[in-house]
Amino acid sequence: MATFEVRGLGKQFPTNPPVYALDGIDLTIEEGEFVVLLGPSGCGKSTLLEILAGLQDKTQGEVLFEGKPVQGTDDRIGVVFQDASLYPWRTVQRNVEIGLEFRGVAKGERREAAGKYLTQVGLAGFERKYPHQLSGGMRQRAGIARALATEPDVLLMDEPFGAVDHLTRIQLQRDLLALWETHRRTVVFVTHDVGEAVYLADRVLLLSPRPGRVFREFVIDEPRPRRRGDISLLARESEIYEALTRIEEQADAEEVSP
């Protein structure tokens, strides 16, 4: 069974005039896949991710999670945003525990789970630190640990590495792939970075400018582990850049047409 099935998805915001964010989105995401949503700013990547997460309602179409309609949030889906959004008054450990706390999990079990996932993301020893005592990359690791602590089947990630420096971003990408290859959770990852998309993904779905549509799908079947700078990966990047150029040319033509 597919993790997500999306058919004829549309999203309209009731502004004046209305904003059509997504139109006619059809896609299927299989269990254990690493799928990247890529496209220019404003194409609806984050909106689509939030609809999959049950954080936004669709305007039209059908969205199924494991064969059932998405209706609000689901404990089996973890979400990681660009801003880790840690509570500043809680320690790192207590931030990671928060989802389990909401579920009523016992204190000792919460502590054990938090320790396990903080170790997995490289934050062992920082349990009693507060968010302001961490670097941006460390805060993002804590956000990932918090999402993992509830042991979701799916991770939805909205540009989670966009706010960190380049070297930290590269390391976080490696760490994420190591976690994914260990547990093979389904991952849907939003980015506007072509190199990041090609390095991480099994498939890249390229969205067109608003209203967002799936302009083209790229299957990234280069073997793992992948090496940055590999000729085959650079060729895939070039292919995607060419498609992005066509999207821009098409959008410019539509703007000038009567």
Residue 258 forms part of a structural domain: yes
Please compute the mean of the pLDDT values over residues 55-84 and round it to a whole number. Answer: 94
Residue 249 forms part of a structural domain: yes
Q: What is the pLDDT of residues 173-206, one digit of tens each?
A: 999 999 999 889 999 999 999 999 999 999 999 9
CA distance 235 to 238: 5
pLDDT of residue 110: 94
Residue 57 forms part of a structural domain: yes
Q: What is the pLDDT of residues 228-251, one digit of tens each?
A: 889 999 999 999 999 999 887 777
Burial of 68 (0-12, 13-18, 19+ CB in 10 A): exposed
Q: Is the per-residue pLDDT at 94 higher than 80?
A: yes
Q: What is the pLDDT of residues 127-148, one digit of tens each?
A: 999 999 999 999 999 999 999 9
How does strand 34-38 pair with strand 186-191? Answer: parallel
pLDDT of residue 74: 94
What is the maximal distance between C-alpha atoms in the chain? 66
Residue 123 forms part of a structural domain: no
Q: Is the per-residue pLDDT at 221 higher than 70?
A: yes
Count structural domains, the chain: 1
Residue 212 CB contacts under 8 Å (≥ 6 apart), including other chains? 21, 22, 23, 25, 39, 43, 44, 45, 47, 48
Residue 158 forms part of a structural domain: no
The percent of residues above 90 in pLDDT, for the chain, comes to 79
Residue 94 forms part of a structural domain: no
pTM for this prediction: 0.93
Band (256; pLDDT cuts 50, 70, 90)? low
pLDDT of residue 96: 96
CATH of the domain at 231: 3.40.50.300
- Which domain, by its residues, includes 225? 1-76+189-258
Residue 55 forms part of a structural domain: yes
Instruction: Verify cis geometry, omega within 30 degrees of 0, for the bond prior to 88.
Output: no
Burial of 231 (0-12, 13-18, 19+ CB in 10 A): exposed
Average pLDDT taken over every residue of the chain? 92
Q: Is the per-residue pLDDT at 98 higher than 70?
A: yes
Residue showing tokens 């179409």 = 61
